[in-house]
Structure 1
Amino acid sequence: MNIFIGGLSYGITDADLMDLFQEYGEIKSAKVIMDRETNKSKGFGFVEMEDDSAAKNAISELNGAEYDGRTISVSEARPREERPRRSFNGGGNRRSGGGFNRGGGDRRY
């Protein structure tokens, strides 16, 4: 089962998450989510546990607990929602052409 952990202090590492959850059962992976540009923690992470009952126990024990001076929220992770990919060509609903051709380009005045 994949577990979401929110409200983490910004100094928490993947290893810290492993330490926090390992007393509840076998852990497949632990990951603190980092900002791509600053490479600093975003304050949340995920732990994947082997056994669902152990994961549910960890959720009930740790949700609302204080960890590293902050109250953390722990819940079953929801599947990531599909979001439309951003295009980098300026966006939609733009029509090509533009200008106003009123005709009569060869008129004499």
Structure 2
Amino acid sequence: MSIRLYVGNLPEAVVRQELEDIFLPSDDIVSLKLITDRKTGKCRGFGFLTVTTDEAADQFIEKFNGHPFKEGSLRIELAQPKTVKPESLTPEVASATPAPT
């Protein structure tokens, strides 16, 4: 089972290769995704790192959370599940979704 980590506090000018240079010496990494703005192509300040195990996730958080990077320091934590806003659902799906109580 793979574990997804949030990588935050990234500057706009970061490129994927810079993060790969920091993280990829590890064999536990499955993927690295940098989130960019569609119009400008610049980093939106965060990305996601997928690792192989819970132990690897804990090690990455311990090792890299607060790690100096460019002008700031990296923020590494477990990624939260993606939530879907009800207004973004199609009418058929929205009507099938139970209202919160």
CA distance, structure 2, for counterparts of residue 42 and residue 11 of structure 1: 10
Structure 2 unaligned runs (5+)? 91-101
Structure 1 unaligned runs (5+)? 88-109
CA distance, structure 2, for counterparts of residue 54 and residue 33 of structure 1: 22
Normalized against structure 2, the TM-score is what?
A: 0.74
- Larger relative contact order (Cα-Cα within 8 Å, sequence gap ≥ 6): 2
Q: 1:5 aligns with which of 4, 7, 11?
A: 7
Deviation, structure 1 residue 86: 7.4
Which is richer in helix?
2
Matched-pair identity in %: 30
Given residue 45 of structure 1, which amino acid in structure 2 is its aligned partner?
G
Superposition map of 1:7-46 within 5 A: 7-46=9-48
Deviation, structure 1 residue 67: 0.9
Number of paired residues?
A: 87
Structure 2 SS opposite 1:15:
helix
Query: Aligned-pair RMSD on alpha carbons?
Result: 1.9
Given residue 27 of structure 1, which amino acid in structure 2 is its aligned partner?
I
